[in-house]
Amino acid sequence: MSTRDLVLSALFAAIIVALGILPPITLGFIPVPITAQSLGVMMAGVVLGAQRGTVAVLIVLVLVAIGLPVLSGGRGGLAAFAAPTTGFLIGWVFAAFTTGYISERLVKHGQAAGMQLTGFFFAAMMGGIVVLYAFGIVYLAFAAQIGLKAAFTGSMAFIPGDVIKAFVAALVGRAVMAGYPLLPVKS
């Protein structure tokens, strides 16, 4: 990894941390708080691509593990990995990777704005929802012993919020690509 790539990843990790300092929004009565941080994970994928986006998220998880309260609501430390919702935290890594991987292949520089937006939105939905929830739900079912069906039902309440976040991530991805393109586009 070049120094520039490492710095880009670290700066994006800092953006994800900063997003957690803004107050979290809790939707409904089910425990996973809706935070701007999962938006940050999707944005890491659409802005930086698969490799650098994944590294950015890994840096955030290292910060959590060494005891810095960098997750929304001032959570942090190893205890953050002992929650029933830890699967969503681990899933961030794979969410950023998937979002970046799909973005690199779907979105091209010369495309119409609408096409780019659609490509980014699809990538963010696949990474930030399909892949992320697969990890989150399986871990929740296992760690909390509630069974896949209950874990799935409980997590559904957060899908609408995350669809909105995927859309915001797509808007941001497209605007950043127009203003300061960083995404490594694969043909």
Partner 1 sequence: MQSLYVEGNSRLHLISARVKLIVLAVLGIALFATANIALLGFAVVATGAVYFGIGMPVRAALARLKPILLTILIVAVFSLAFNPWHGAVVALLRLTALMLFAASVTATTTIAAFMDEITLAARPLERLGLVRADDVGLAVGLVVRFVPEIIGRYHAIAEAHHARGLKVRPATVLVPLIILTLKDADNIAAAIDARGIRRHVN
| Interacting residue ranges for partner 1, rule: CB under 8 A | 1-4, 6-15, 17-18, 21-22, 29-32, 36, 39, 43, 47, 55, 59-60, 62-63, 65-70, 73-85, 140, 143-147, 149-150, 154, 168, 171-172, 175-176, 179-180, 182
**Amino acid identity, position 115:** M
Closer to partner 1 by CB, 2 or 187: give it: 2
Closer to partner 1 by CB, 106 or 151: give it: 151
CB of 64 to partner 1, least distance (A): 10
Closer to partner 1 by CB, 48 or 126: give it: 48
CB of 164 to partner 1, least distance (A): 9
CB of 105 to partner 1, least distance (A): 22
Closer to partner 1 by CB, 117 or 187: give it: 117
d(CA 133, CA 144): 15
CB of 91 to partner 1, least distance (A): 16
d(CA 174, CA 113): 7
Checking 159-165 for CB contacts under 8 A at 24+ apart, the result is 159/129, 159/133, 160/27, 161/25, 161/27, 161/34, 162/34, 162/38, 162/128, 162/129, 162/132, 163/125, 163/129, 165/38, 165/39, 165/42, 165/124, 165/128
**Amino acid identity, position 99:** T
What DSSP letter does each residue of 8-38 carry, written as one string?
A: HHHHHHHHHHHHHHSPPB--TTSSS-B-HHH
Closer to partner 1 by CB, 46 or 187: give it: 46
CB of 140 to partner 1, least distance (A): 7
In the numeric block, which tokens belong to residue 117?
């937006």
